[in-house]
Structure 1
């Protein structure tokens, strides 16, 4: 089946869920009571996506504290907020500091990351649905020699364990009937920005070699699974309406040529994203989901402009191999972007309405 409308992953968390998570962490709410509240939030996320008519839905990532949180919480060995500081900013120069995790002990598998998410979602919808996982090389940033070398002598040794955990997760999702798995990889856009590329070089690393290594590892994760759609989502950072990097996709066009993904979900909501020319490098048997609708700002895009931009993209890749989505999740972190629930609904409805007009079948 051809999917022409979908959401990237996360939806805004309701206030009652955020409050419940705080109560859980402070010991004022039992895990069982919290699960019932999580279930309610997932039910509402499913109902919203079904109501607007998306071709593919998620559980809204309601069970995560951020888009990669299910990985950190499913595996022992991380200091959850003890890692590198990642700066986010907006066009006005306002900044936000995000503290990532760091590996401090040998990783020990505790539970599946997505089994609960997928089985619950599968049982409550007849819609096509997907699950999202973090990219392996994104987790490479969780290795810091001065904090991690007592657990792993090298980053590669740490990554070898991450690969094993991710392969195990993919295999379990497939066993449970999941046929659409999306890998979220904002790390790829680190290779777009000239300042970041220079920073890699100052640290003694070749950004092009790192790109090739990431592609190699991605293929190792997704290869060998017939009947499953694997998608790669690449954005430039998304944290409370702020971003991490900017740049055209051309420096990483090898991702399209050399990875084995079936779909590429790409951020194209503003001038930071560059043009569509790079889409000519996407192989003939792959599809592209154009993230033309921003999740960072409440203003609703004009349908005519979206139609025009899709037509422009179709100069480089046939229209039947294109689809439409927001450019990223609405709440990559649990705080969510600076938009309202009504803004979110209107943007999802816009995705569906434009997609149905362009791809009526």
Structure 2
């Protein structure tokens, strides 16, 4: 396939892994037994990705409690009452709150990368959480003896390490999950928080070479959890001008769930720079209906009217289960959508003469 297509990240966990998550949390099984369940789920995930014809695979984030909080595994000094993220259907997610410094990751994405690379020869994409998301851990009233400036300096160091370990570990690409970008405009319509987020992420990206940044991408979406979203009502046009100032080589944009995708594509074309590739979302994980390959093809052809084909790719709008307890989408439906994306992208490539 000459038109690249990639997953975003999470795949719904199998029932036995969901049970294992509860069992290890309650002390009914030990960590070794749980790790065996994870290994089984990762192997099955990779095999099912490969069966769809996907040219790039991930581990489906099977071992992560959530896409955002995996670095906090084993970290001391956290309280449960941090920033609350409200979703359109009324449910919320709450981030932890940092209570002491210095801030250090307790786990790294490269740990997951090593496991999946051991069982496949396919290119592996590794999602990581953006520094901007983790900056929300720091409380508004500060921490005695640990000023925000020092926290951010420590955070940039840790985020760089997380990405660099993945690049050095053989990841085909590394994707920064930046769902908080669009959400920030809901929390602060002035755009000040978004500008701070972009500056922080660029402080991380500036530590990499041009060649390395070509393998680093940024994913943005309006959220996707329990078949609901947190910021679909925020106009993409408010996000895109700053989004494309991020010094990354790849951008993964949720698009299939947008009410007016052509309007978004028109805005993208006005901000895209040479050397940047845009992967447009062609399947919507919060919609239970499985798209047909022909629908995917038509979405790609629409995108190709606005984006040069040598700067175009496809993806899913977002992960299918970013939080481990989200069972709103079945594993079978997720892989059916992945297969539709792969087949539809191939059909579009053929029609485009690629």
Consecutive aligned runs of 4 or more in structure 1 exceeding 6 Å deviation = none
Question: Residue 256 of structure 1 contacts residue 282 of structure 1 at CA under 8 Å; is this kept in 2?
Answer: no
> What secondary structure sits across from 1:271 in the alignment?
coil
Report the counterpart of residue 234 of structure 1 in structure 2: 220
Matches within 5 A, 1:1-361: 4-73=4-73, 75-79=75-79, 81-89=80-88, 94-109=89-104, 111-146=106-141, 148-150=142-144, 152-154=146-148, 156-193=149-186, 196-198=187-189, 207-223=190-206, 224-225=208-209, 227-228=211-212, 229-246=215-232, 247-272=234-259, 275=263, 276-280=265-269, 281-360=271-350
Structure 1 distance, partners of 2:33, 2:327, is 27
- As a proportion of its length, which structure holds more strand? 1
How many residues matched? 344
Structure 1 distance, partners of 2:105, 2:181, is 28
> What secondary structure sits across from 2:87 in the alignment?
strand
Question: Residue 136 of structure 1 contacts residue 217 of structure 1 at CA under 8 Å; is this kept in 2?
Answer: yes
Cα RMSD (Å): 2.2
> What secondary structure sits across from 1:131 in the alignment?
strand
Structure 2 distance, partners of 1:191, 1:242, is 17
Question: Residue 298 of structure 2 contacts residue 348 of structure 2 at CA under 8 Å; is this kept in 1?
Answer: no
Structure 1 distance, partners of 2:30, 2:68, is 24
Structure 1 distance, partners of 2:105, 2:87, is 31
Structure 2 distance, partners of 1:2, 1:76, is 46
Structure 1 distance, partners of 2:260, 2:100, is 38
* Alpha-carbon distance, 1:336 to partner: 2.6
Query: How far does the alpha carbon of each residue in 1:227-257 deviate from its partner, in whole angstroms, 9 at most, with x for none?
Result: 4300100011111111101233211223344
Structure 1: gaps of 5 or more residues: 199-206
* Alpha-carbon distance, 1:302 to partner: 3.7
Question: Residue 330 of structure 1 contacts residue 337 of structure 1 at CA under 8 Å; is this kept in 2?
Answer: no
Structure 2 distance, partners of 1:165, 1:4, is 30
Question: Residue 192 of structure 1 contacts residue 248 of structure 1 at CA under 8 Å; is this kept in 2?
Answer: no
Question: Residue 76 of structure 1 contacts residue 107 of structure 1 at CA under 8 Å; is this kept in 2?
Answer: no
Structure 2: gaps of 5 or more residues: none
- Output the TM-score relative to the length of structure 2: 0.90
Structure 2 distance, partners of 1:179, 1:271, is 29
* Structure 1 residues 177 and 225: alpha-carbon distance in aligned structure 2, compared to 1, 3 A threshold: farther
* Structure 1 residues 51 and 75: alpha-carbon distance in aligned structure 2, compared to 1, 3 A threshold: same
Question: Residue 249 of structure 1 contacts residue 273 of structure 1 at CA under 8 Å; is this kept in 2?
Answer: no
- Output the TM-score relative to the length of structure 1: 0.88
> What secondary structure sits across from 2:191 in the alignment?
helix
Report the counterpart of residue 203 of structure 1 in structure 2: none
Query: How far does the alpha carbon of each residue in 1:305-343 deviate from its partner, in whole angstroms, 9 at most, with x for none?
Result: 333332222222112322222111010111235222221
> What secondary structure sits across from 1:241 in the alignment?
coil
